[in-house]
Amino acid sequence: MQPDATDKKILELLQENAHMTIKEIASRINLSVTPVHERIRKMEREGFIEKYVCLLNRRKLGKSLLVYCHVTLDKQRKESFEEFNKAIAGMPEVLECSVVSGNFDYMLKVVVSDSEDYNQFYQLKLSALSSVLHISSYFVISEIKHTTGIPVG
Amino acid sequence: MQPDATDKKILELLQENAHMTIKEIASRINLSVTPVHERIRKMEREGFIEKYVCLLNRRKLGKSLLVYCHVTLDKQRKESFEEFNKAIAGMPEVLECSVVSGNFDYMLKVVVSDSEDYNQFYQLKLSALSSVLHISSYFVISEIKHTTGIPVG
DNA sequence: TCATTTTGAAGGATCATTTTCCGCAATCAA
DNA sequence: TTGATTGCGGAAAATGATCCTTCAAAATGA
């Protein structure tokens, strides 16, 4: 069953602040705590809500550099994709990695401390993979928008 | 003050599951609830922890298509950047938007229902902006990795 | 139409967690 | 040694989550 309008309001609030109490959510949407609680549990059970996480300030933690990479594999073959996918899983600096359509194979989002740190990652980890043919790096100069909230309207 | 090793363990746990109780965290790192509670509050106060959110399953909510866009502005001028930045802020389907170095100006991450929905976004919203000269779209075929957890080791 | 079932919500009791307070021990500087 | 600071543990108080029962409205069926 898809979330109804009330469920969606709850999701919007929780996507913005998961520490909001059920009581607070209830008062915002003019309901008592019980139905709000039940709706949340239901959406958790049914997988609409996947998990609750905290978001950190990467700059304060010294991870000031954000880089997007385009990766082209040497050969578009099963073994290459498998090697690459497996390697990516073990790289904590890679936050996102997707196979994309277009003139390259992968799109990566990488978080590192600085350009030297990125160089280490680039030379010792990414280009060390035999499956990799070509890498283009795009350094983020300014983050205009950054949200984890998907539109539920 | 930077988080110490104990703080980092707490951050790793909270980045994975922010609903973990203080008691549970405490037992995992062999501490009582008081210091764990104090450390978390401190990291919230000092801004290392920015917010708590819930992550939704976009597919279950009908947002099955993920697209990365490269956008080139017509003119690299203050007014163009301002118009573009402002417009992006009002587009809920754009989850991330960054100014990048390289042969285009912006990198966008867009979430929509399907290709028709993307077409609407592309034609009616993005290319409707006078500041935009060129757009390249890269459709995500497969998400290999997707995490919000930045490395704190 | 009337009775029955189902669904969603409210209120209150109970349980768990968070938060606060206090004291203890280790470390460090004077 | 003394005094101050820091980090930790334990327990009480405050708050919130959860569970259970009841109620009302809508849907279902004879």
**Residue percentage of chain A with pLDDT more than 70:** 100
Q: What is the pLDDT of residues A87-135, one digit of tens each?
A: 999 999 999 999 999 999 999 999 999 999 999 999 999 999 999 999 9
- Mean pLDDT along residues A56-68: 98
For the stretch B80-87, contacts whose Cβ atoms lie closer than 8 Å and that sit 24 or more positions apart, written own/partner, are B80/B131, B81/B131, B83/B129, B83/B130, B83/B131, B84/B129, B84/B131, B84/B132, B85/A144, B87/B125, B87/B129, B87/B131
The helix (run of H) or strand (run of E) holding residue A145 is: strand A132-146
Determine the 3-state secondary structure of B111 from DSSP.
strand
- Mean pLDDT along residues B75-85: 95
CA-to-CA distance for A151 and B151, rounded, in angstroms? 27
Q: Using only C-alpha atoms, what is the Rg of chain A?
A: 20
**Residue percentage of chain B with pLDDT more than 90:** 98
Q: Which of residues 33-92 of A touch strand D (CB under 7 A)?
A: 33-34, 37, 41
**Residue A147 in contact with partner chain B when CB distance is under 8 A:** yes
For the stretch A124-132, contacts whose Cβ atoms lie closer than 8 Å and that sit 24 or more positions apart, written own/partner, are A125/A87, A125/A91, A126/A69, A126/A71, A129/A83, A129/A84, A129/A87, A130/A74, A130/A83, A131/A73, A131/A74, A131/A75, A131/A79, A131/A80, A131/A81, A131/A83, A131/A84, A131/A87, A132/A71, A132/A72, A132/A73, A132/A74, A132/A84
- Mean pLDDT along residues A29-36: 97
Confidence of residue B140 (pLDDT cuts 50, 70, 90): very high
Question: What confidence score (pLDDT) does residue A129 get?
Answer: 97
Question: What confidence score (pLDDT) does residue B73 get?
Answer: 97
Class of domain A65-139: alpha beta
The helix (run of H) or strand (run of E) holding residue A137 is: strand A132-146
B14–A55: do the CB atoms touch at under 8 Å? no
Within 7 Å: CB of B29 and strand D?
no
- Mean pLDDT along residues A27-55: 97
For the question of whether the overall pTM of this predicted structure is more than 0.85, the answer is: yes
Residue A3, sorted as left (phi over 0), alpha (psi -120 to 50) or beta, turns out to be beta
- Mean pLDDT along residues A55-72: 98
- Mean pLDDT along residues B56-72: 98
Q: Which of residues 83-142 of B touch strand D (CB under 7 A)?
A: none
**In this structure, which CATH number among 2.30.30.100, 1.10.10.10, 1.20.120.160, 1.10.287.70 belongs to the domain B5-45?**
1.10.10.10
Per the listing, tokens 């009581």 go with A23
Question: What confidence score (pLDDT) does residue A1 get?
Answer: 87
Domain regions of chain A by residue span:
5-45, 65-139
* Nucleotide closest to B32 measured between CA and C1': D9
For B128, the token pair is: 């409707």
Q: What is the pLDDT of residues A88-100, one digit of tens each?
A: 999 999 999 999 9
Q: How far is the CA of A68 from the C1' of C2 (A)?
A: 68
Question: What confidence score (pLDDT) does residue B49 get?
Answer: 98
Q: Which of residues 1-20 of A touch strand D (CB under 7 A)?
A: none
CA-to-CA distance for B128 and A37, rounded, in angstroms? 42
Q: Which amino acid is at B55?
A: L
Partners of A138 in the β-ladder? A68
Q: What residues contact residue B122 under an 8 Å CB cut-off, 6+ apart? A: B135, B137
Nucleotides of strand C lying closer than 7 angstroms to a protein CB: 8-12, 16-22
Q: How many CA atoms lie within 13 A of B148 on its CB side?
A: 29
Q: At residue A137, does pLDDT exceed 90?
A: yes
